[in-house]
Structure 1
Amino acid sequence: MFRNLVRILEPIKFQLSCRARAGAADGGSAYERNSVSKERQLSESLKRALPGITYVSVEDISGGCGAMYEVNVEAKEFVGLSRVKQHRLVTETLKSEIAEMHGIRIHTNTPGSGDK
């Protein structure tokens, strides 16, 4: 029963923690700067690990909370790899950063596939 209660309350806990962090920032400006710098940090980590990147986009989708990101990557390193292996490359690259997140959405493509 306790486990079910915890599962039910987890999304609420996540929302409250994001609101508390956002409210702690003065007008959200410091918080927004942190979010942008985290997005930039994630992008730079990917660019260093995958030099064949032709497109990368990292967006904080947690409302400025910094707890969940959406990552879109197009790289030459993905050619010939299954979607699962492509995602593994991304998760291995961002392993330490992902440990600090609530969640991440990953979208990968190969150059010329047309999907972004």
Structure 2
Amino acid sequence: MNKTKLLQLLSRLWNGPNGVLAGKQAEQKMISILRNRFPQAQLIEVTDVSGGCGAMFDINVIAPEFKGLNTVKQHRIINEVLKEEIKDMHGLRIHTSIPQS
């Protein structure tokens, strides 16, 4: 494989629809959406756990807006807020809680 073809392949792997950069961009987009929905959140983390391809994410949100809601309801809120972003994913792990006083 010549140098030009190798660079093209690496570029596609990095920037393509399922490339590492795509996974990082998806993380940032979801963090932004969650910050808008949970402005008082103590913690919002979104991590691509699929090796960078954007197929599976780990989401952790600690927010006072969850107070009085059971875990299922908390997770439903996350799913609803991110429904467009997660529709093509293979998996999603959600962790939610309220801040400790």
TM-score, with length taken from structure 1 = 0.71
Runs of 4+ in structure 1 deviating by more than 6 angstroms, as ranges, are: none
Q: What residue ranges of structure 1 are gaps of 5+ in the alignment?
A: 1-23
| Counterpart for residue 11 of structure 2 | 26
Deviation for aligned residue 1:86: 0.6
Q: What residue ranges of structure 2 are gaps of 5+ in the alignment?
A: 1-8
8 Å CA contact retained: 2:23, 2:52: yes
- Number of residue-to-residue matches in the alignment: 90
Matched, 1:68 2:56: yes
Structure 2 residue corresponding to 1:98, chosen from 77, 80, 86: 86
Cα shift readout 1:10-57 (whole Å, capped 9, x = no counterpart): xxxxxxxxxxxxxx5528442222211110001111111121211011
Which has a greater percent of helix? 1
| Counterpart for residue 88 of structure 1 | 76
Describe the SS at the equivalent of 1:53: coil
CA distance in structure 1 between the aligned counterparts of 2:24 and 2:10, rounded to whole angstroms = 14
The 5 Å alignment of 1:102-113 reads 102-112=90-100
| Counterpart for residue 52 of structure 1 | 40
| Counterpart for residue 12 of structure 1 | none
| Counterpart for residue 3 of structure 2 | none
CA distance in structure 1 between the aligned counterparts of 2:43 and 2:79, rounded to whole angstroms = 17
Computed over aligned residues only, the root mean square deviation of the Cα atoms, in angstroms, reads 1.7
8 Å CA contact retained: 2:41, 2:63: yes
Identity %: 42
